[in-house]
Amino acid sequence: MIAPYGGSLISLFDDVAGADRLPSIQLSERSRCDLELLATGGFSPLDRFLARADYERVVAEMRLANGTLFPIPVTLPVSDDAPVAQGRDVALRNAQNEILGVMTVEEIFERIDETPVFGTRDTRHPLVAEMRGWGRRCVSGPLRVVSVGTPWDFRELRRTPAEVRALLAARGRENVVAFQTRNPMHRAHEELTKRAIEALDAILLLHPAVGMTKPGDVDHATRVRTYKALTETYYAPERVLLSLLPLAMRMAGPREALWHAIIRRNFGATHFIVGRDHASPGPFYGPYDAQELLVQHEDEVGVEMVPFRELVYVVEEDRYEEASAVPPHAATRSISGTQVRDDYLGKGEPLPAWFTRPEIAAILTESHPPKHRQGFCVWFTGLSGAGKSTTGEIVVSRLLEHGRQVTLLDGDVVRTHLSKGLGFSKEDRDANILRIGFVAAEIVRHGGAVVCAAVSPYRATRDRVREMVGADRFVEVFVDTPLDVCEARDKKGMYAQARRGAIKNFTGIDDPYEPPLSAELTIETTATTPEANAGRIVELLRERGWVLLR
């Protein structure tokens, strides 16, 4: 078996008696994933989150302070108020507040500009964007770990480097070729992995990243179902090992490819497949930059790269081939990931058999219903009496008429149960809106339609709700009725009471209303009827594909 990178597998498991009395910090899911790979040896030779000297040299030169090649800074950023002090122990907790381990803090240091790692400052790069929200300081020091908080799904496929090595050793084959993926596998991927298996007389270590991948990727549970179906039906069982990797990807393209190879060596791989656009989140790297970088460092990493150019389907010959090897005038086909989502799954079109195996198509279809069966949220905002409920009720009726089940979360109604007891202070108002937002997000996540009608006067809070629901499923409708009109309507007699001072903090009277800056739709209600406004909203929903008007 190939030796781990750096010679031996790191293990950080140890006793942490008394950890419950220590100050503690809560790890993000990203840091928890990193801790898992540190503790089990996936990041060997790292035995801790990077110390300052290692960190700075990794960023600048892809090397630890001692010269060892290591391309990605695995650091532990902490919030500015984290209870950390040099020389002191701090407990590390997961999102559920369970203690995962203890760090003896040896160093606290400022983060530096990590542009060399990503090759860009562009915030369209998901990690560049995410890092803006990280704390400015990192901590490092020896770790004692009791638990890595491994998720419970697909436990039988979640294995440590030592476990994978033991299974591979039992198979008794010299070559192990690893395949990294964060997407469902289609016939092109099947073809290239099978080519690698054959050419190297190897076992395939099918090693999907199931920590964090690119936002918007197919969820890992769906992906794992496809990997299971594929390996069970289409690979010789003795030539494939499916195992899940709890990696929080950085989407750093070339540097990430190097990192992936190092990690797979720790899991026992001798070879590593790199195709087009490896770990690339968009137009930041050349399609084969990752191959070029890995080739330069292959000897040092000790893992041989198995490069592939793009594979396409050759129609005449009913097979896959590297685009460069296809005869000049032969017809070829391919479907991008975006097309899979928008042109096939989103429209309820079946994925063609030349593109993917029927088992995979069935799983993807099941977990990605067509747009008109996906969830969305219509969020009305505006002054009291503006016409949110009136218009919202008509929208709900129209949607019902067109075959969508809808939940209406009306601010006044919600305050009688979900938000019972909350008043109208800024805190209580925010709590109310965030509760409605939480419920709306759950409804949308499960494919439901929800219409929310609450004053929701504060822009920042509405934006948080937009974030919770998902910006691409959120339709903000500003009911732009002037205050004097609302006051004249005074359906509930509230304005009169507010003017008398009998109720306080009334929006528009003695509490501000912050109009949306970029609502999806603005309606006015002095010259337009509620029916006409509801019609415009339903039309917008139809255009976006959420309603089929039959």
Catalytic residue set: 456
State how far the Cα of 327 lies from the Cα of 322, in Å rounded to an integer: 10
Of all helices (H) and strands (E), which one includes residue 476?
Answer: strand 474-479
Least gap, CB of 479 to ligand ADP (angstroms): 6
Q: How many C-beta atoms surround the C-beta of residue 496 within 10 A?
A: 12
Least gap, CB of 93 to ligand ADP (angstroms): 12
Q: How many CA atoms lie within 13 A of 97 on its CB side?
A: 2
Q: How many C-beta atoms surround the C-beta of residue 419 within 10 A?
A: 20
* Contact present, 268 and 205 (Cβ < 8 Å): yes
- Residues at the contact surface with ligand ADP, assessed by CB under 6 A: 382, 384-391, 453, 479, 489, 491, 525, 528-530
Angle between helices 220-234 and 358-367 (to 10 degrees): 160
Checking DSSP bridges between strand 332-333 and strand 311-314, what pairing results, if any?
antiparallel
Q: Which is nearer to ligand ADP, 96 or 324 (CB)?
A: 96
Least gap, CB of 532 to ligand ADP (angstroms): 8
Q: Which is nearer to ligand ADP, 334 or 528 (CB)?
A: 528
Least gap, CB of 407 to ligand ADP (angstroms): 16
Least gap, CB of 126 to ligand ADP (angstroms): 31
Least gap, CB of 410 to ligand ADP (angstroms): 7
* Contact present, 483 and 515 (Cβ < 8 Å): no
* Contact present, 523 and 391 (Cβ < 8 Å): yes
* Contact present, 207 and 42 (Cβ < 8 Å): no
* Contact present, 277 and 285 (Cβ < 8 Å): yes
Q: Which is nearer to ligand ADP, 191 or 393 (CB)?
A: 393
474: β partners: 377
Residues 6+ apart with CB under 8 A from 402: 538, 547, 548, 549, 550
Q: Which is nearer to ligand ADP, 336 or 526 (CB)?
A: 526
Residues 6+ apart with CB under 8 A from 49: 34, 38, 74, 75, 76, 103, 138, 139, 140, 143
For 176, 282, 309, 436, 506, the CA distances from 323, given in Å and listed in that order, are 26, 21, 7, 51, 66
